[in-house]
Amino acid sequence: MSTFDIILQQLINGLLIGSFYSLVALGYSMVYGIIMLLNFAHGDIYMAGAFVAFVMLAVVSPVLGAGWLGIVAAMIASMFLVGLLGVFIQRVAYRPMLGAPRLSILITAIGVSLVLYNSVMAITDGEFQAFTTDLGFAGVDVGSVHITYTQIILVVATAILMISLNWFISKTMYGKAMRAIALDKDACRLMGINVNKIIALTFFVGSSLAAAAGTMAGVYYGSIHFFMGFVIGLKAFTAAVIGGIGSIPGAMIGGLVLGLLEAAGTQLPFIGSEWKDVFAFGLLILLLVFRPTGILGKTEIERM
């Protein structure tokens, strides 16, 4: 392959992987921005979304087929059901802990992660599940690089979801309420905003986006497993920090930047694909040293 072909191939790989990181990172940033919680169970929400979509696709495929129509139906069902799961987790595990020290709620988040992780492991006996579709490998050729229609559609779908979220946060009353609560919860309560309802909605939206990313990952890789949420959860957290934790545009940018840097890193001398995780987390360490607020993050000053 020529240099141009290698660059194009890694650009495609980086955009696709970065889009998954961005969708999951959005959940981290939304929750952190509102209740200052690092929801380490979010990677397992992504995993749960993949498995729910896997089950729903098996249910709808006899009627709708295992092509895009069936996949979209399965993804929408997964987004809704996993969104409700996120609300349930928030209501049962996090809401009673909002007044507790941050360390307590962080430990609770780790506990929720372990419950989800081990539950799916027990149900599947720890085995990989084949996410079978009828999409095939048709696409377009640019030089010696083959770009499948599946890759194109997944990137476009991610862009649509992120643009829709940005519109929701910027233009709707619920989005404005989320931004207001992120600034001052007590003032929002005095203004009549139902803070608990908006926090639950935040978990619903963040979990739905993670479920969409899990479904897309199942379609792209062709298999899912109980451990798939662990690494991408850490990567998405890294992406959120790179973009500026708590910033919605920052999470989008951070995910894409991390995906592209990972893809580019595999082409560097002495750094192959087996070193890409080292490269990603090394980047996080450097960023925290030189710019701890991230690309779009702002320094917060606490007043006594």
Say which DSSP state 147 is in. Answer: E
Contact yes or no for 87/61 (Cβ under 8 A): no
141: helix, coil or strand? strand
β-pair partners for 139: 148
Q: Which of 81-95, 225-239, 275-289 has the lowest mean pLDDT?
A: 275-289
Q: Please check the confidence at residue 270 and state whether its pLDDT lies above 70.
A: no
Contact yes or no for 203/86 (Cβ under 8 A): yes
Residue with tokens 């929750």: 31
- For 189-234, the pLDDT digits (tens) are 888 889 999 999 999 999 999 999 999 999 999 899 998 988 888 8
Distance, in Å, from the CA atom of 241 to the CA atom of 257, rounded to the nearest integer, reads 11
Q: Please check the confidence at residue 152 and state whether its pLDDT lies above 60.
A: yes
Q: Please check the confidence at residue 87 and state whether its pLDDT lies above 50.
A: yes
Fold of 7-290: ABC transporter involved in vitamin B12 uptake, BtuC (1.10.3470)
Q: How confident is the model at residue 299 (pLDDT cuts 50, 70, 90)?
A: low
Average pLDDT over residues 104-120: 91
Domain boundaries along the sequence of the chain: 7-290
Instruction: Look at residue 302 in the predicted model and tell me its pLDDT.
Output: 42
Distance, in Å, from the CA atom of 252 to the CA atom of 300, rounded to the nearest integer, reads 21
Q: Please check the confidence at residue 297 and state whether its pLDDT lies above 80.
A: no
Instruction: Look at residue 292 in the predicted model and tell me its pLDDT.
Output: 78
End-to-end CA distance of the chain: give it in Å, rounded.
60
Instruction: Look at residue 1 in the predicted model and tell me its pLDDT.
Output: 63
Q: Please check the confidence at residue 304 and state whether its pLDDT lies above 50.
A: no
Q: Which of 19-23, 36-40, 127-131 has the lowest mean pLDDT?
A: 36-40
Instruction: Look at residue 303 in the predicted model and tell me its pLDDT.
Output: 38
Distance, in Å, from the CA atom of 150 to the CA atom of 146, rounded to the nearest integer, reads 11
The counts of H helices and E strands in the chain are 11, 4
- Going by C-alpha positions, the residue among 300, 290, 281 that lies closest to residue 236 is 281
CB count in 10 Å sphere of residue 122: 10
Cα-based distances in Å from 103 to 99, 106, 238, 271: 11, 5, 20, 36
Tokens of 44: 């397992």
